[in-house]
Amino acid sequence: MHPIRLGLVGYGKIAQDQHVPAIRANPQFTLVSVATLGQPCPGVDNFSSLADLLAHGPQVDAIAFCTPPQGRFALVQQALDAGKHVLVEKPPCSTLGEAMALIDEVGKAGVSGLFAWHSRFAPGVANAKAWLQGKALKQVRVEWKEQVRKWHPGQTWIWQAGGLGVFDPGINALSIVTELLAGALFVQSAELSVPGNCQSPMAASIQMRSGEQVPVSAELDFDHSDNELWRIELHSDEGVMRLDSGGAQVSIDGVTQGVSEEGEYPAMYKHFARLIADGLSDLDLQPLRIVADSFFVGSKQTVADFHE
């Protein structure tokens, strides 16, 4: 079977740092074309739009989308109309309604789709799933604090309506928690801190509860200057497991555990290849639904203006 011929839409920081290296390291894929309005991707054909890529580029079997969520629905729909498998970076769309519609459209197109919650593929997540088996979970605590100027320099779309603000990184933590907890997770309250010159929150404090009545708290900050923190603590009746560095490191009751050395994006693209081979899709919406619920029930306070 020949490698999956892949097109990439959007060639910003996340595509350059994560997607392209993972694609090129996987023999199941070959990157043949990129659609971008910015700097071109070396070694492949570059186009100014997805329409141009589809009309004039080399044949592709699948397309990965790394554009901002605003306006992404129409682009993914265009690829589905052309009969292409799709991988959609998180969050899949800027609204829950658009993402729900994409699930229907993937089914109608008869192709494979993946909503790419890449943090679920962090090596420690598999450890946590195995460790939780047979244990009674008592509490989950999330601290997800990073510096937006470092990870998204000059990307003003994050602060616009639909850009999600602190939930752009925070949704990664939510995707891990919803992977680990059985059933739905419900937002009880949320406090959102919105800079006076932005439309999306800089920080959030969320209280949730699982269907099994396990309390889950999340403290999110997108303007955390020192000692960035990506931590999830799972408190059970038999001890505490802690995932650090976004799930790359694991400890149980303070004792470091061994984890796979495979990175999130390489594992995610392996999963995408399996979905295509098996004619399946993986289009979970729980992380985005929790974000939507947080906006719906959350109280908002205005904080100091944000300046790059």
The DSSP H or E segment spanning 243 is: strand 239-244
Dump strand ranges (E) for 90-212. Answer: 113-116, 137-145, 185-195, 203-210
Classify the phi-psi angles of 213: left when phi > 0, otherwise alpha if psi is within -120 to 50, otherwise beta: left
Do 159 and 198 meet the contact criterion of CB atoms below 8 Å apart?
yes
Token pair for residue 269?
């693209």
- Which three-class secondary structure state does DSSP give residue 1? coil
Structure-token pair, residue 105: 């459209």
Neighbour order of strands in the sheet with 255-257: 255-257, 249-252, 239-244, 229-236, 137-145, 215-221, 203-210, 185-195, 299-303
What values do phi and psi take at 93, rounded to 5?
A: -150, 175
Please tell me whether residue 190 adopts helix, strand or coil conformation.
strand
Q: Is the peptide bond before 69 cis (omega within 30 degrees of 0)?
A: no
Number of alpha helices (DSSP H) and beta strands (DSSP E) in the chain = 10, 15
Q: Would you name the residues annotated as active-site residues?
A: 90
